[in-house]
Amino acid sequence: MTPEIDSKKEAEDRRKSSVEDTVLGQTAFFLQEKGDVQAAALLLDVEGIQWTPGNWAHDWTVAELLVPGWLIERFSDDVLERISPVLLEAAERHGVEVSKVGVAPVLPELGPDWRSVLQERLSTDTVTNHAARVRDPRPELRREGFTFDSREELRVFEALKRAQSRLAAEGHDTITIFPLPLGRVGVGNSWTPDFVVVREGRAGLIEVDGPHHRGRFGADTTRDRHWRNSGFVHIERILVEETAKDAELDTLVQAFLKRLRSH
């Protein structure tokens, strides 16, 4: 390429990059306003947009949402179908013609010493809760030595802490919270519930269910049965859509603790 062509390409790349956050933000707010809280919340975890040619002729473009690898399965076909028309409209208003929306993993930036860096991380991993599935989580997903997989899980943790403090302030026996503990269940199963909560000698589970749980009702039911057969008296499944508002989430947690106490 000539310097002039290179300069034009760099300018175009900068222009597209400058509208990414605006397009994402407008898409997320529009989805929230129309009541699709789940899709709007998922867009909070999108780290950027990669504008990719849709074919060899470069005559149409794919907007690939860049998300952490562990989150990709949450962007199901159904979720992308709901996001696509809104994002395409927002992009077009900012001069970017997009024909399709997809999803791609965020890849780490690496240097020539990546082998030694990885080896050091593997040998000095200091994450305290056993089952954290993210090996290099973002700082905003860490709290009090715990590592969470998503903002939704973190919000449930904060709601449980509020309930814990409220019970103590009212003079009641309070609760113990175990985020993402790894446990051996039944005969030969090693599973990770999102939260184990203990109240007055009774243990219960909370699972935060995202889009990937759709179509898995049978598998989730079987797993819940194993949990119950292993000593857990109550299992609560909270949808990611239900974590958006503190008041609603607090109500769900209070109902869970009431059921846990009554068993």
How many Cα atoms sit within 13 Å of 176 on the Cβ side? 7
Single-letter amino acid, residue 181: P
Give 146-180 pLDDT, tens digit per residue.
888 888 899 999 999 999 999 999 988 999 999 98
Q: Which two tokens stand for residue 118?
A: 């990885």
Amino acid residing at 42: L
Instruction: Report angle CA 5, 103, 246 to the nearest 5 degrees.
Output: 125
pLDDT at 29: 92
CA torsion, ordered 140, 206, 38, 105, to nearest 10 deg: 50
pLDDT tens for the chain, residues 1 to 263: 555 555 555 555 555 557 888 999 999 999 988 888 778 888 888 888 988 876 665 566 889 999 877 677 778 888 899 999 999 999 999 888 888 999 998 887 788 888 887 787 666 544 455 445 554 556 778 888 888 888 889 999 999 999 999 999 998 899 999 998 888 887 667 788 899 999 999 999 999 986 544 444 445 677 888 888 889 999 999 988 888 888 999 999 999 999 998 87
For residues 134 and 109, give the distance between their C-alpha atoms in angstroms, rounded to a whole number.
16
CATH code that applies to domain 139-262: 3.40.1350
- CA distances from residue 25 to 45, 83, 188 in whole angstroms, order as listed: 12, 12, 45
CB-hemisphere CA count at 13 Å for 1?
A: 8
pLDDT value of residue 197: 96
- Asked if residues 155 and 243 have their Cβ atoms less than 8 Å apart, the reply is yes
> Which pLDDT score is estimated for 138?
65
CB distance 212 to 103 below 8 Å: no
